[in-house]
Amino acid sequence: MNNEETLLSVTKSEWIKFRTVRSTIMGVIVFAVLTIGLGVLITATIRAHWATAGFGRRLTFDPVSTSLAGVLFAQFAVGVIGSLFITSEYSSGAIRTTLTAVPHRLELALAKLLVLVLSMLVVCEVVCIATFLIGQAIFAGVVTPTASLSNGADLRAVLLAGVYLALLAVLGFSLGLILRQSAACISVFVSILLIVPIIMLLLPQSWQNSYEKFEPSNLGTSMMSVTPRADLFGTWSALTVLLVYVVVVFGVGVTMLQHRDA
């Protein structure tokens, strides 16, 4: 038995499945339109009002994270892509065909993970770089400071925005392994990103200050900022915390996949 060979063939199979359903294609289009569209909207608005912006606003202005602000909306599309990659198989019943072809469930989960991470990294990086470039073109000549991909810190922030999104796709996928239902999975995913921060606002200020930085969106904000806010995690710590989340949820998902009846 050659396990590497098998993992490769299962990955090929999952790649065919991933790109041949409409939900993936639609998800990618929605994601790209949201990220780029909101990026254009936000950067254009800032350019239009730059002349009247206050000194403080200008001083703390981050041209990178501002141009990528659409990411914090588009992350939901990415989560849906990841979720549906597994939950749609449960809703159609196709999971039984899949598991009949690939009874080794860890291998199946790893193959799906590989397909999702690689494809989403490519898509998200391309979209983030495009959004960034369009944003900087809109800022050019009016808004300062400017940012450029030739600047190491700027490039890092742009690339980590793509990494953040790819990891959220994996988070959605891992929740899907646990919950198996599309609606439940997407609700939980949205709750984690939107509702938890709202609940956080109801907590005492001191708790907010300690826990706010653990919210996934704030980890994302740190990752795509040139200079992260002082009350949040630094860039690499934020990436590490997010990785821990994803690995834990994926681990739970795979364990459940292995032990439950399909």
Partner 1 sequence: MLKIDHLTKRYGATVAVDDLDFEVKPGVVTGFLGPNGSGKSTTMRVILGLDHPTKGRVTIGGKEYRELKDPLREVGALLDAKAVAPGRTARNHLRALAASNNIKRSRVDEVLEFTGIAAVANKKVAGFSLGMSQRLGIAGALLGDPGVLLFDEPVNGLDPEGIRWIREFFRSLANEGRTVFVSSHLMSEMAVSADQIIVIGRGKFITQGSVDVLTATAKGSVFVRTSDNTKLTSTLRTRHGVVHEINDNGLSVEGLSSDDIGRAAFESGIAILELTPQRASLEEVFMDLTADAVEYGGHAIDKTSDE
Nearer to partner 1 among residue 129 and residue 262 (C-beta): 262
Shortest reach from residue 178's CB to partner 1, in Å: 18
Residues 6+ apart with CB under 8 A from 69: 38, 39, 42
Shortest reach from residue 107's CB to partner 1, in Å: 10
Shortest reach from residue 19's CB to partner 1, in Å: 9
Nearer to partner 1 among residue 66 and residue 88 (C-beta): 88
Nearer to partner 1 among residue 23 and residue 187 (C-beta): 23
Shortest reach from residue 103's CB to partner 1, in Å: 4
Shortest reach from residue 80's CB to partner 1, in Å: 15
Nearer to partner 1 among residue 46 and residue 186 (C-beta): 186
Nearer to partner 1 among residue 24 and residue 218 (C-beta): 24
**Residues in the site for partner 1, rule: CB under 8 A?**
1, 5-6, 9-10, 12-14, 16-17, 20-23, 88-89, 92-94, 96-97, 99-104, 259, 261-262
